Amino acid sequence: MPDELRAVLDDDAWLRAMLSAERALARAQDQPIGDEVFAADGLVADELLSEGRSAGNPVEPLVRRLRERSEHVHHGATSQDILDTAAALVTRDATAIILAELDGVATACAKLADEQRATVMAARTLLHQAVPTTFGLKAASWLVGVVHARGRLAKSGLPAQLGGAGGTLAALGDKALEVLHAYAEELDLPEPVVPWHTRRLPLAELGAELAVASSFCGKIALDLLLLAQTEVAEVRLPANGRSSTMPHKRNPVGPVLTRACAKHVRAAVSVLLDVEQEHERATGAWHAEWKALSDALAYAGGAASALRGSLEGLEVDAERMRANLGADTLSEAQRFAPEAREPEDYLGSADALIDRALAFYRG
Amino acid sequence: MPDELRAVLDDDAWLRAMLSAERALARAQDQPIGDEVFAADGLVADELLSEGRSAGNPVEPLVRRLRERSEHVHHGATSQDILDTAAALVTRDATAIILAELDGVATACAKLADEQRATVMAARTLLHQAVPTTFGLKAASWLVGVVHARGRLAKSGLPAQLGGAGGTLAALGDKALEVLHAYAEELDLPEPVVPWHTRRLPLAELGAELAVASSFCGKIALDLLLLAQTEVAEVRLPANGRSSTMPHKRNPVGPVLTRACAKHVRAAVSVLLDVEQEHERATGAWHAEWKALSDALAYAGGAASALRGSLEGLEVDAERMRANLGADTLSEAQRFAPEAREPEDYLGSADALIDRALAFYRG
Amino acid sequence: MPDELRAVLDDDAWLRAMLSAERALARAQDQPIGDEVFAADGLVADELLSEGRSAGNPVEPLVRRLRERSEHVHHGATSQDILDTAAALVTRDATAIILAELDGVATACAKLADEQRATVMAARTLLHQAVPTTFGLKAASWLVGVVHARGRLAKSGLPAQLGGAGGTLAALGDKALEVLHAYAEELDLPEPVVPWHTRRLPLAELGAELAVASSFCGKIALDLLLLAQTEVAEVRLPANGRSSTMPHKRNPVGPVLTRACAKHVRAAVSVLLDVEQEHERATGAWHAEWKALSDALAYAGGAASALRGSLEGLEVDAERMRANLGADTLSEAQRFAPEAREPEDYLGSADALIDRALAFYRG
Amino acid sequence: MPDELRAVLDDDAWLRAMLSAERALARAQDQPIGDEVFAADGLVADELLSEGRSAGNPVEPLVRRLRERSEHVHHGATSQDILDTAAALVTRDATAIILAELDGVATACAKLADEQRATVMAARTLLHQAVPTTFGLKAASWLVGVVHARGRLAKSGLPAQLGGAGGTLAALGDKALEVLHAYAEELDLPEPVVPWHTRRLPLAELGAELAVASSFCGKIALDLLLLAQTEVAEVRLPANGRSSTMPHKRNPVGPVLTRACAKHVRAAVSVLLDVEQEHERATGAWHAEWKALSDALAYAGGAASALRGSLEGLEVDAERMRANLGADTLSEAQRFAPEAREPEDYLGSADALIDRALAFYRG
């Protein structure tokens, strides 16, 4: 996981996000209090979380402390309002970092697609050589997937949440809808149509985008690992991993970690996809979200980051790719294109498809 | 599952879809063959699927039969092209039916939201009464979720697939990209940027939309079941289920089936979310898609359909809702709104939120 | 899926199992009725299931028909008693077939372990050659896993279920426990300590055993597919799969289907592992079990069966295995065993480990 | 999560476990080194894990440091040997704590089963009252499930792992099998038939036991939450949770956390059940195990612990249980037992079943 991603997902980040939500609430109501009430100084995230574990959530101990600073805090809100809004803020920060990593992956794929246009290799179906293709086209297909997943993730995100004890905004009086609007605006978060306390589709959808993006990173990682096999040796992966037994061996840690991370994202997202939450607050499904969301964001970032490094440091062995093309693969090609003599004569629209992919990438 | 959904997902439907893909391919190439070559008459879906099981997929036995009719079929395509395109067609037909069921759910929710504006009931958090709300607002939140999920599902769908043996379109010669374009147009399916044989994001995303939509149907079902409990009795569900022990007992089968179906959708979708497919054709992950996709579509339709019936036949007991409001719930309300005397005085913005939900529904 | 497995899991098999449960119940109570009351003749599984869909389960329509034959049926039982017991019977029949397939897999692995003791090949970590091993040892490790999984599956199974409407056996009067005992004995099923209507651990555990067994089959399949790659070519898989594009290409369908099946088992089992069922009958989780159980059994059998065929028809290319051993792999070996000249000198305890595996297999 | 569970699963615990594995390896080989070589003093878990992230695993940086202390360490082992064996040790320690929590749950259930024999309440199917039962019988069924799950978990566990770079034990020479035996004995861990580096059934099975145990805790928690509903009010849960909005409200945090934890266990276990690991070390699936295992253990302990507290502090309202029994429920009972006047007359074998459950518990 990139260090900066770790920093926006740790306990202090959640504390800051909760404070931002409380501050926005106070401001949206023109409460007569200064920013110092919402300062993190003097609050210990660890303590709040520990107390929060027995209280059911960390907002209650936080609000108790804030109320010692001012009576004008948390008016009209329930714990879930603050925690859900904090989740929206944490998600926004984490997503920005994940998107940057995916951008790096896309850039590396685009570079490969363009530079390896003429690099002939075997297309492989069911792990057997089928017909010739190019490494450029392979990278172009990776590129299209990453750009697509990135685009969907960029559009996802959680709205602000404000509903009060039962979702009616009752404690906010006549100005409730204005407060809701100002609150969302203050935080620069989408305003929900109605409070979404047990309508958890945004979380499930965000989770799905993270699962798809990281699983597709896993697909690229898998292709790289297969190409890097001793007997295939068509690429060399940056070998940062070391073996405790075989000191001279260098292990392709990047794609391995990408695949491991993608597994964790899918597992976490299985929790988020089950949005069957009871009435106006769920008995467990809501409480399970924080860890599932944090894990999904952290490991999605980890998957993209590890893959990016692998792609940026990738060494392509074009000669080996060409040499690996089996006689069967060539004669297969000739069956369709009898005039073909070299694999280069059987690449079909590979080049034009690469151009399409690059145009898609450039938007 | 609605009968019409069953009809677009059965073996014959898959056969017809494969034939449509082959016909579109021939037409896109201006092959000199008539529609009769692609007629389902004389082909037995059962036979093809049975042969297909040992061949790895049903396209190979189908193409063998079509080639007895004409030599101009399947030119330039690989089995996966036909099967993936058939999946896109089947998905489109099934999705249309699921959307219609979700429309029915939305209509029923909108009706409840509007009609039950004045029906006061307890909002419940962690299954305990919290503060007063209205059944109209509860239905309004359901409505927003269903409309949202429906909207995303309506936008999803699978593109046409055409790539040939290795994804290069090589066997189609110079006109490959024109053929690809004409093929997609003939089928009225989206044209992919580049062939998507192992870039399975569209399937994963479709699966996620189905999981979210049906799980949210499950949330509504769960709320209904909780409201229908003997001790709560705030709604009566259409009781089509009968007990073999207690003949006079009528069971709320609708929401029960919705929840069961939602479980199956999530399970099937867990297969689709893992898009780690090797190189240009996967060793298992592709073969697992057909059943996972069929199950996800079938059970998503089943979830929506069972819920729709439950909502359309729902009897709301407004008096009981009012009577169930506990003294604690009212005094809780009064703490915030000291002037409140009746629960009606503590409904906050419930009515305005319902209006927002209905406006969102009406688009 | 083996045909005989299909036959014990189809609608008729479930109907017969429900009839067996009803017959055992009548006999356990010494009801004065003959076997003809429980004959499948005249009952149409399709009809019952179709009616059962709207009733919530197929037992109610079945019992209605049986009551036309005799008034002495279904006394003291609830629908779930009959359906759960039918599930236990279907599971027993299906498990026997799955075990036979796993036996076939184990036999094939044992044969390879013994015959390929001297076949030197590369051990591969992270898909890179590490040090020499033997194909015999590889097969020995497969063997141990299959025997282990088989042993656990053989011990699992579902108990008889009899509890009546609420699990108290109230309608059975003073003889209830005797009836329960006789009922289980009649069916040759384990007798539960107390009725297990919402204590679904046996199903979850059975599911887990099926998931583990089929996923381990998937591991063997994956190894085979990797060894069969064009560039590795250390084994040749029986190639029953044909390509619609490349008629001369033979696809390794067996392990591919094994991996696809294993995915379906894991998905189905995710439903069974969630045993959170409400009170004395669940609102969805119970209804989701039938399909999840059927799928888990069917695809576990499919996974084992496809793998068995692949192993039984496997061709091992010992020369290629030896030739593939890279210079690095050998020098790595020499670093540890400086006196080693040939890979055969660096096989450590491979042979003794094979003997241990074979002894474990032979019990 | 209990604090003591946290302590056996944290980074320092993993470090100590790795050191224990290395020490046992040295002792099994009679290496001439003292215990001080394996002291944790001077080693910083954080550093090792951070270095381990880029190396692929933390053993390599650990071994580098130990080699500065003595040349006689890690002889014949590979990183996975040490990490898998450490996992076995951590698992044993964590499992002991989880078992103690499950014992606490069982004790509380047994107490309820015995004490609440005469407490009549409604059995509920599909969340509707069915017929009378007793709270004692309900608790007896919980008891049987917990004892069953506990028993299976107690029997599970991971073996010692020692295989060297390729699983042949080659670097250990002629004494390899003796070393393997002594190593396992030194650690008091099961000795594997053959090294299990990519035969991960023990982990998958352990995971399944944890999922089943915690999901069944979730079932009990769900029953408690349903019984504690405002409108049912048959039990009062120890209310440690506080509301930030409604200070006088006390939330039933225990069962809520149990259900949330059970979700996390199932998610983590979905990773462990997929044992498809390549050849002699997997490209991702192995690396994903540490977190999945740690999460599964931690949250299984959390689920059991939170439930235990809820059960130990449970207040049962026998009068309310009796009062809630609806007229329909009684008349239903009378239909079967016409002579029944009171619900007490329709409890069937409830009492005898409780005795069976208690006998099962007492072993």
pLDDT digits (tens, 9 = 90+) for A258-294: 999 999 999 999 999 999 999 999 999 999 999 999 9
- Indicate if the pLDDT at residue B338 is higher than 80: no
Contact criterion met (CB < 8 Å) for D229 and B332: no
User: What is the distance in angstroms between the Cα of D346 and the nearest Cα belonging to chain A?
Assistant: 33
Q: Which of C50, C64, C243, C270 is catalytic?
A: C243
Query: What pairs with residue B235 in β-bridges?
Result: B316
Q: Are A217 and A209 in contact (CB under 8 A)?
A: no
Structure tokens at C63: 């019992």
Average pLDDT estimate for B258-274 = 98
What is the C-alpha to C-alpha distance for residues C121 and C112, in angstroms, rounded to an integer? 14
Q: Are D124 and C280 in contact (CB under 8 A)?
A: yes
Weakest mean pLDDT among A17-26, A38-47, A120-129: A38-47
Closest CB to D324: pick one of B122, B129, B231.
Answer: B231
Q: What is the mean pLDDT of chain C?
A: 94
User: What is the distance in angstroms between the Cα of B34 and the nearest Cα belonging to chain A?
Assistant: 24
Of B295-299, D53-57, D340-344, which one has max mean pLDDT?
B295-299
Contact criterion met (CB < 8 Å) for B230 and D326: yes
Question: What is the predicted pLDDT for the residue at D250?
Answer: 60
Average pLDDT estimate for A98-117 = 98
Question: What is the predicted pLDDT for the residue at D345?
Answer: 86
Question: What is the predicted pLDDT for the residue at C245?
Answer: 57
Question: What is the predicted pLDDT for the residue at C223?
Answer: 98
Weakest mean pLDDT among A89-98, A250-259, B233-242: B233-242
Weakest mean pLDDT among A83-87, C10-14, C237-241, C276-280: C237-241
Question: What is the predicted pLDDT for the residue at C338?
Answer: 74
Question: What is the predicted pLDDT for the residue at C244?
Answer: 59
What are the angstrom distances between the C-alpha of A87 and each of A83, A163, C116?
6, 15, 57
Dump pLDDT digits (tens) for D228-267.
999 999 999 987 655 565 555 567 899 999 999 999 999 9
Of residues A213 and A171, more confidence is placed in A213
Q: How would residue C1 be classed by pLDDT, with cut points 50, 70 and 90?
A: confident
Average pLDDT estimate for D126-149 = 97
Average pLDDT estimate for B158-186 = 95
Q: Which of A141, A281, A308, A310 is catalytic?
A: A281
Question: What is the predicted pLDDT for the residue at D243?
Answer: 55
Contact criterion met (CB < 8 Å) for D228 and B127: yes
Q: Which residues contact A317 (CB under 8 A, 6 or more apart)?
A: A233, A234, A235, A236
Chain A contact for B347 (CB, 8 A cutoff) = yes
Record the pTM: 0.97
Dump pLDDT digits (tens) for D57-95.
899 999 999 999 999 999 999 999 999 999 999 999 999
User: What is the distance in angstroms between the Cα of B15 and the nearest Cα belonging to chain A?
Assistant: 24
Closest CB to A283: pick one of D74, D165, D259.
Answer: D259
What is the C-alpha to C-alpha distance for residues A249 and C268, in angstroms, rounded to an integer? 40
- Indicate if the pLDDT at residue D118 is higher than 60: yes
For strands B250-251 and B128-134, give the pairing.
unpaired
**pLDDT > 70 in chain A, percent:** 97
Q: How would residue B339 be classed by pLDDT, with cut points 50, 70 and 90?
A: confident
Question: What is the predicted pLDDT for the residue at A354?
Answer: 98
Greatest alpha-carbon pair distance for chain D in Å reads 85
Three-class DSSP category at D236: strand
- Cα angle A211-A217-A221, degrees, rounded to a multiple of 5: 135
- Indicate if the pLDDT at residue B105 is higher than 70: yes
| ipTM value for the complex | 0.95
Question: What is the predicted pLDDT for the residue at B247?
Answer: 53
Question: What is the predicted pLDDT for the residue at A239?
Answer: 74
Number of cross-chain residue pairs from A and B with Cβ atoms under 8 Å apart:
277
Helical spans, DSSP H, in chain B:
3-9, 11-28, 45-55, 59-69, 79-115, 135-155, 176-187, 201-227, 253-272, 289-312, 318-324, 327-336, 350-362
Closest CB to D256: pick one of B126, B324, B335.
Answer: B126
Q: How would residue A245 be classed by pLDDT, with cut points 50, 70 and 90?
A: low
Structure tokens at C286: 């119970």
Q: Tell me whether residue D301 is exposed, middle or buried, using C-beta atoms within 10 angstroms of its C-beta: 0 to 12, 13 to 18, 19 or more.
A: buried
Chains touching C, CB cut-off 8 Å, 3+ pairs: A, B, D
User: DSSP class of residue D345?
Assistant: G
Residues in chain A: 363
Question: What is the predicted pLDDT for the residue at B244?
Answer: 60
Question: What is the predicted pLDDT for the residue at A240?
Answer: 64
Please give the residue of chain A at the shortest CA–CA distance from B197: A141
Average pLDDT estimate for D291-313 = 97
Question: What is the predicted pLDDT for the residue at B242?
Answer: 53
Please give the residue of chain D at the shortest CA–CA distance from C276: D219
Three-class DSSP category at C316: strand
Contact criterion met (CB < 8 Å) for B166 and A131: yes
User: What is the distance in angstroms between the Cα of D284 and the nearest Cα belonging to chain B?
Assistant: 12
Question: What is the predicted pLDDT for the residue at A244?
Answer: 59
Active site residues of B: 243, 281
Question: What is the predicted pLDDT for the residue at C330?
Answer: 81
Question: What is the predicted pLDDT for the residue at B248?
Answer: 52
Q: How would residue C339 be classed by pLDDT, with cut points 50, 70 and 90?
A: confident
Chain B contact for A232 (CB, 8 A cutoff) = no
Greatest alpha-carbon pair distance for chain C in Å reads 85
How many C-beta neighbours within 10 Å does residue D239 have? 16
Weakest mean pLDDT among A178-192, B34-48, B175-189: B34-48
Weakest mean pLDDT among A106-115, A289-298, C54-63, C193-202: C54-63
Q: Are A99 and A153 in contact (CB under 8 A)?
A: yes
Closest CB to D332: pick one of B126, B232, B246.
Answer: B246
User: DSSP class of residue A172?
Assistant: G
Q: How would residue C292 be classed by pLDDT, with cut points 50, 70 and 90?
A: very high
Domain C3-362 indexed as CATH 1.10.510.10: no
Q: Tell me whether residue A9 is exposed, middle or buried, using C-beta atoms within 10 angstroms of its C-beta: 0 to 12, 13 to 18, 19 or more.
A: buried
A312 sits in which H/E element: helix A289-312
Helical spans, DSSP H, in chain C:
3-9, 11-28, 45-55, 59-69, 79-115, 135-155, 176-187, 201-227, 253-273, 289-312, 318-324, 327-336, 350-362
Q: Residue C263's Cα: distance from chain center in Å?
A: 13
User: DSSP class of residue A168?
Assistant: S
User: What is the distance in angstroms between the Cα of C93 and the nearest Cα belonging to chain B?
Assistant: 23
Average pLDDT estimate for A23-30 = 97
- Indicate if the pLDDT at residue A74 is higher than 70: yes
- Indicate if the pLDDT at residue B62 is higher than 80: yes
Dump pLDDT digits (tens) for D173-214.
899 999 999 999 999 999 999 999 999 999 999 999 999 999
Chain A contact for D200 (CB, 8 A cutoff) = no
Q: Are D140 and D358 in contact (CB under 8 A)?
A: yes
Contact criterion met (CB < 8 Å) for C324 and A126: no
Q: What is the mean pLDDT of chain D?
A: 94
Handedness of CA D287, D290, D295, D297 (dihedral sign): positive
Q: What is the mean pLDDT of chain A?
A: 94
